[in-house]
A and B are shown apart, each in its own frame.
Chain A
Amino acid sequence: MRRAALALLLMAMAATPAAAVAKDCPQTTLGDIEDEVMCPVCGTPLGVASEAPQAQRERAYIERLIARCRSKDEVKQALVAEFGDRVLALPGDEGDTSVGDVLVYVVPALGILLAAAGIGIAWVRWRRARRQPGTGGGGLATADGARLEDDMERYDL
């Protein structure tokens, strides 16, 4: 009876750390990582390279690391050790944020702003052109023509 109790106690002690680990594990998922890393051979994010054999190997490697309860950062570090910095898909993931890493966010934002400004200007000009009386092809009175010219000058950037 004592032996059985001792065995049960030992089993419980052995199971406790394992249960604690299992509770925190896995710490991340393949889906969470594969959008943030590259398939270096394919030259695309891993999430996009679905069928390529090298991508499948990389995925299997990530899954092995996840099964060993590695965190997302640890998985990325292991990938860098295997494939170098080019495996990281997100700018600034290397740890040392460079000007290029900042520009990669700033330039598209500026592009979007400029495009929006261009569309806005074009829309305003189009609206004004529609509002102008007699612009249907019949020619403009001298005064109207002069005013249109002034407006055009004013909105020409």
Chain B
Amino acid sequence: MRRLLSPVPIAVLGVLAALVALLAYGLAQNEPDRGVDRALARGERENAPGLSLPQLGGTRTISLSDYRGRVVVLNFWASWCEPCRDESPVLERWHRRMQDRGGVVLGVDMLDVTGDAQDFIAEYKLTYPMLKDKDGHGLETYGVVQYPETFVIDRQGRIAAVQRGPVDERFMRSQVEPLL
């Protein structure tokens, strides 16, 4: 008992406890923020976090607040993401459909090579505005953990729906159409 109370075992135990605490902290930090999903499950709409990023391949900065008063379909994607290929035609179709009704699709290309993203845009003939998120800002502010993810933001700037994965016609009709 006396030996257990000597400084060396205590120091070893202390180091072990610190390592376990560090591991737990690391795991907790990697846990995605799912506050938006929980709010939506409660039937509440949270204010969309601010987003201000440069235009993809350009110098102009575009902010989410520039679209206040319009319905925004905020789509996080990357050129290497296979499911993004499936949803891109859907998003383009809806962008054209929404334009005259106060809606817009806003693409955010995340952690991607600009040239690859531009090739992707050209391949799918996408015309909606595109932002470049080189620092992965959306990962933290929107809790994005997979590609693609889409947030539907109403005219008051609140998140009305979330799709973790590719959107399809059904999602757009059920979640976006009623807001227009």
Contact = CB atoms under 8 A, between A and B. Distances in A.
Nearest to A43: B30
A83 B8 contact: no
Contact of A118 (B12, B80, B110, B115): B12
A86 B135 CA distance: 7
B113 A58 contact: yes
Contact of B7 (A40, A57, A61, A156): A156
Nearest to B133: A84
A102 interface: no
**Among A53, A82, A85, A122, residue most surrounded by chain B Cβ atoms (within 10 Å):** A82
Interface string B73-100: 0000011111000000000000000000
B50 interface: no
Contacts of A83: 111, 134-135
A82 B8 contact: no
Given A118-B12, A156-B6, A57 B135 contact: no
A56 interface: yes
Contacts of B113: 57-58, 61, 82
B44 interface: no
B57 to A, nearest CB: 12
A58 B78 CA distance: 12
Tell me the dominant secondary structure on chain A's binding face.
helix
Contacts of A122: 8
Contacts, number: 47
B11 interface: yes
Tell me which of B111, B116, B135 has the highest count of chain A C-beta atoms within 10 A of its own C-beta: B111
A1 interface: no
The B contact surface, by secondary structure, is loop
A121 interface: yes
Interface residues of B, number: 20
Nearest to A58: B113
A118 B113 CA distance: 49
Interface string B109-146: 01111111000000000000000001110000000000
B116 A86 contact: no
A25 interface: no
Given A41-B111, A157-B8, A57 B116 contact: yes
A53 B135 CA distance: 19
Interface of A: 40-41, 53-54, 56-58, 61, 81-86, 118, 121-122, 156-157
Given A58-B113, A61-B113, 6 more contacts: A41-B111, A41-B136, A57-B113, A82-B134, A118-B8, A156-B7
What are the 7 A-B residue pairs with the smallest beta carbon separation, nearest first? A84-B135, A53-B80, A157-B7, A57-B80, A40-B111, A61-B113, A84-B134
Interface of B: 6-8, 11-12, 78-82, 110-116, 134-136
29 contacts: A40-B111, A40-B136, A41-B78, A41-B111, A53-B80, A54-B78, A54-B80, A54-B111, A56-B80, A57-B79, A57-B80, A57-B112, A57-B113, A58-B113, A61-B113, A61-B115, A82-B113, A82-B114, A83-B111, A84-B134, A84-B135, A84-B136, A85-B135, A118-B11, A118-B12, A121-B8, A156-B6, A156-B7, A157-B7
